Amino acid sequence: MDRNSVVIVTGANSGMGLATSMALARTGATVVMLCRSEKRGKLALDEVKRESGNDSVMLMVCDLGSHKSIADFCLEFKKRYQRLDVLINNAGVVIPGRHQTLDGYELQFGVNHLGHFLLTNMLLEVLIASAPARIINVASGAHKIGKIHFKDVNLSENYTVWRAYAQAKLANILFTYQLAEKLEGTGVTANCLHPGAVATNMGINRKTGFGTYITKLLKPFFQTSAEGAATTIYLATSNDVNGVTGKYFYKKRPIDSSKKSYDKNSAKKIWDLSEDMTGVQRFNNI
């Protein structure tokens, strides 16, 4: 990665997203910090610019729970930038209670998977034109207990927060493996990772404060955001992974993901379902 590189980091205003943005900004690269909240995003942007000394850092607002917002962002990004070297799909949500995206989908599946599915597909053209380029999906070891509930992917019945989270994280990995196959020969790689247990604000309900006490209590046993971001940063910057694709990383090393995550039939089904749910082909024809 050099000063000519352009990188997008989703969920960049806090936690691992902020730590990743900071580290990449210190390389001199142009970092686009993608945030849902303009207010929190501006505070994070100021911090990254101040600490990194890099003025080539940009805040762009996008709600991954809104397909229109994603489409609007992609159009604006393509107007501003002619290349994209690294796309880091880092943003994640896990909060108690069943919630829905603006498009009516279960929130965790809608943001953690569908939002990044649509964003990635809408940026593939510029990624391929910028090759060699990299796509990095932040997944989780929670995928091991996950199952894609194809008959009720929105978990309208039998919802639990962990069933939803594990499903979304398994979808992240199935998506990564399928994407890597589809991009073979383009010079664009796609990998995913498990960051480990990290003390972040994910899981805290900002309205009620739910999760704050638990997070503080367990914090001494968790990694810091910077530690959790280490593998993401490695995948974005290291020459060791030039040309490496379709892998699941933990602590900067490729490891096996769950048996279910290698099911090619499930990977195809989740891809086709995600296309239908996001209308990605329609958006790509704008």
Is 1 part of any domain? Answer: no
Mean residue pLDDT of the chain comes to: 91
Is 31 part of any domain? Answer: yes
Q: What is the mean pLDDT of residues 226-242?
A: 95
Residue 219 has pLDDT above 70, yes or no: no
Q: pLDDT class for 225, splitting at 50, 70, 90? A: confident
Is 27 part of any domain? Answer: yes
Q: Provide the pLDDT for residue 1.
A: 83
Cα–Cα distance list, 258 to 58, 158, 194 (Å): 37, 23, 12
Is 132 part of any domain? Answer: yes
Q: What is the mean pLDDT of residues 41-53?
A: 98
CB 254 within 8 Å of CB 243: no
Residue 112 has pLDDT above 80, yes or no: yes
Residue 21 has pLDDT above 70, yes or no: yes
- Cα dihedral across residues 93, 176, 155, 123: positive or negative: positive
Q: What is the mean pLDDT of residues 215-235?
A: 73
**pLDDT, tens digit, for every residue of 170-206?**
999 999 999 999 999 999 999 999 997 655 454 434 3
Which range of residues forms the domain containing residue 187? 6-284
Is 240 part of any domain? Answer: yes
Q: pLDDT class for 215, splitting at 50, 70, 90? A: very low
Q: What is the CATH number of the domain that holds 14?
A: 3.40.50.720
How many domains would you assign to the chain?
1
- Kindly name the residue from 105, 165, 177, 248 that is annotated as catalytic: 165
Q: pLDDT class for 224, splitting at 50, 70, 90? A: confident
Q: What is the mean pLDDT of residues 123-134?
A: 98
Residue 35 or 284, more confident: 35
Q: Provide the pLDDT for residue 226.
A: 85
Residue with the two structure tokens 């159009």:
75
Q: What is the mean pLDDT of residues 83-104?
A: 96
Cα–Cα distance list, 170 to 4, 65, 163, 187, 217 (Å): 34, 18, 11, 25, 28
In eight-state DSSP terms, residue 58 is E
Q: pLDDT class for 223, splitting at 50, 70, 90? A: low
Q: Is the pTM here over 0.85, yes or no?
A: yes
Active site residue 165: yes
Is 118 part of any domain? Answer: yes
Is 65 part of any domain? Answer: yes
Q: What is the mean pLDDT of residues 155-180?
A: 97
Is 43 part of any domain? Answer: yes
Residue 270 has pLDDT above 50, yes or no: yes
Kindly compute the dihedral angle of the four CA atoms of residues 54, 63, 186, 78, in this order, to the nearest 10 degrees: -60
Q: Give the separation between CA 91 and CA 95, rounded to whole angstroms.
A: 13
Chain center to CA of 281: 20
